[in-house]
Amino acid sequence: GSLMMISARAFGDNAQMKEHHYTGPVEHKFSPYAFNGGTVLAVAGEDFALVASDTRLSEGYGIHSRDSPKCYKLTDTTVIGCSGFHGDCLTLTKIIEARLKMYKHSNNKNMTSGAIAAMLSTILYGKRFFPYYVYNIIGGLDEEGRGAVYSFDPVGSYQRDTYKAGGSASAMLQPLLDNQIGFKNMENVEQVPLTLEKAVQLVKDVFISAAERDVYTGDALKICIITKEGVREEIMPLRKD
């Protein structure tokens, strides 16, 4: 439709080429943000939690690094995944780790997952007027040993979920997780609880699909598996193109 109109208008009344309309020189204001891509995913099970992320760091059309995972281990029971602007991810994790140490020194115990989530919410909201451009997802075990996932928006709104995808491919992954883990929109299906093996396999399949369709996701997948024994890591290669 519009393409035809432009070409029709290119020839004016006298069948002479008219100038195409263009908006003129555009002034770009300095932006303190950049988008570095990456996808993060977390799943909570009965007695485990998974936090997975791809390891590609990109900006615009280029790839900065193929080995930049987005999961950061905070305690023996909590892992955080941060995607968005890498500069803010680094600073935010540095601040969280410092606050964890402060808590440990004043209270003589480690912070629980729920407490870390509540603290992160206030840290993020403290910069409400100049936000951290980071999509956070915390995965870990709660005080009773059950899996917990807390998902955040860039300014600190959070809630506890069973599963959540964040980052560049989140809109593609979330509906798939809704269907496979949440059994949404499925009729007459037996809702079996998720086992660790099944969850890991699902996460791998889901990231392979994401790497197919999202340019910012790929290279490798790193999964942090949190159980009462501690945090274990698994790495799997993904598409590199």
Partner 1 sequence: MALQDVCGLHNSPLFPQWSAPLSRSFMPENSTHLSGGGIHGEAFSTRLPGRGGLSPLEFYMPIAEYLTESPINFGQTSLTSAPTKLLEIDHLHPSLPSISLPPPTPFPVSPSVPLPFTLSHGTTTLGFAFQGGVIAAADTRSSCSGLVACPASPKVLPIHSHLVGTTSGTSADCALWKRILARELRLYQLRHHRRLSTGGAAKLLSHMLHPFKGTELCVAATLCGWDGDDEKHEQPITEKHANTPTNQMTASNSIVRSRSRICGPRVIYVCSDGLRLQGELFSVGSGSPYAYSILDSSVYWGMSVQEATEVAREAVYRATYRDAYSGNNVDLYHVTAKGWRRRERENLKEEYYREKERERRVIAY
147 binds partner 1 (CB under 8 A): no
Rg of the chain on CA atoms, in Å: 22
The residue within the footprint of partner 1, chosen from 94, 104, 146, 240 (CB under 8 A), is 94
158 binds partner 1 (CB under 8 A): yes
Distance CA 212, CA 215 (A): 8
Interaction residues for partner 1, span 6-45 (CB under 8 A): 27, 29-33, 35
156 binds partner 1 (CB under 8 A): yes
Integer angstrom CA distances of residue 213 from 28, 45, 123:
29, 27, 33
133 binds partner 1 (CB under 8 A): yes
Write down the least CB distance from residue 31 to partner 1, Å.
7
Write down the least CB distance from residue 241 to partner 1, Å.
26
For partner 1, the closer of residues 154 and 227 by Cβ is: 154
For partner 1, the closer of residues 6 and 102 by Cβ is: 102
**Of 4-12, 51-59, 116-124, 138-146: span binding partner 1 (CB under 8 A):** 116-124
Integer angstrom CA distances of residue 188 from 75, 141, 184, 185, 204:
40, 31, 11, 10, 26
Q: Under a CB-based contact definition with an 8 Å cutoff, are residues 169 and 210 in contact?
A: yes
195 binds partner 1 (CB under 8 A): no
- Cα 183-38-35 angle, rounded to 5 deg: 130
**Of 61-69, 99-107, 189-197, 203-211: span binding partner 1 (CB under 8 A):** 99-107
Distance CA 164, CA 188 (A): 24
Q: What's the DSSP call for residue 11?
A: B
122 binds partner 1 (CB under 8 A): yes
* Both structure tokens of 11: 């020839």
The residue within the footprint of partner 1, chosen from 18, 104, 128, 240 (CB under 8 A), is 128
**Of 154-162, 186-194, 195-203, 228-236: span binding partner 1 (CB under 8 A):** 154-162
**Of 124-132, 192-200, 209-217, 220-228: span binding partner 1 (CB under 8 A):** 124-132
DSSP 92-141: HHHHHHHHHHHHHHHHSSPPPHHHHHHHHHHHHHHTTTS---EEEEEEEE
The residue within the footprint of partner 1, chosen from 59, 76, 153, 234 (CB under 8 A), is 153
Non-local (6+) Cβ contacts of 58 within 8 A are 36, 37, 38, 64, 215, 216
Q: How many residues does the structure list for the chain?
A: 241
Question: Which residues of this protein are in contact with partner 1, per CB under 8 A?
Answer: 27, 29-33, 35, 94-95, 98-99, 102, 106, 121-122, 124-131, 133, 151, 153-159, 171
